[in-house]
Structure 1
């Protein structure tokens, strides 16, 4: 089970997902090589043995970077199994490249949130609640 974040680029910067209209679509983010380099710059030692999947293991936890099949790349799905320290490089990645990180469980943009860690905190609480339901007292 992972905290999933969709990283993409729109024609403009949105402050809330409710602002995205039906007419909007993703804008190409860059070539596959450019996206891999951008990710690897902030998530050092990300493995790219599969060109559409990056695997990062670090002190804060792990992140799988699933790039769209398109080249140029239209989106990257992040599958994080990590603590709150993973938020800062995600926000930095988006701000540096004009991308947006949509928390798929909270429906908010991580880089726009007053407390960027809030979505991860809520997801972890939910995960812990679900995991605890199968345990006997």
Structure 2
């Protein structure tokens, strides 16, 4: 079970999907080779041995980057597992590298530094339905 976060281009002034116009269509992130190059150069901890599915391993969490093979790259889905609030800093950094905002797909809100509500709610839900932490 993962917490899913969508990286996409979105205006800075909106706080969530409800603030976007119904006909909103985000601009592409950029060319696939350029996006992969930025990830590799600015996030040396990312494993892109399979460029369609990158991975970043943290001390008690992991992030899978569902990049795909479409060019230009429209969006990246992050599948986050584990625990610890430090993963949010990494998620926001990935978004910064790609020029994107990170959307918590469970709440419909864009993530911001220090806002841990969605991540913590996911962990509580996961622990309750799996009957175990982590």
Which bracket does the TM-score occupy, shorter chain normalised? 0.7 to 0.9
- Please give the alpha-carbon distance, in whole angstroms, between the structure 2 residues aligned to 1:2 and 1:26: 24
The structure with the larger Rg is 1
Shifted more, 36-45 versus 116-125: the winner is: 36-45
Q: Is the 8 A contact 1:38 1:93 kept in 2?
A: no
Aligned length: 130
Q: Is the 8 A contact 1:8 1:99 kept in 2?
A: yes
Alignment map for 1:53-72 (pairs within 5 Å)? 53-72=53-72
RMSD: 2.2
Q: SS at the partner of 1:6?
A: strand
Provide the residue aligned with 2:92 in structure 1.
91
Provide the residue aligned with 1:103 in structure 2.
104
User: How has the CA–CA distance of structure 1 residues 45 and 94 changed in structure 2, closer, same or farther, with 3 Å as cutoff?
Assistant: closer
Q: Is the 8 A contact 1:48 1:55 kept in 2?
A: yes
Alignment map for 1:1-137 (pairs within 5 Å)? 1-10=1-10, 12-13=11-12, 14-41=14-41, 43-82=43-82, 83-95=84-96, 97-111=98-112, 115-132=114-131
Question: TM-score w.r.t. structure 2 length?
Answer: 0.82
Shifted more, 51-60 versus 18-27: the winner is: 51-60
Question: TM-score w.r.t. structure 1 length?
Answer: 0.81
Structure richer in strand, relative to its length = 1
How far does the alpha carbon of each residue in 1:57-101 deviate from its partner, in whole angstroms, 9 at most, with x for none?
222421100014321211000001132111012223334554111
Moved over 6 A (4+): none
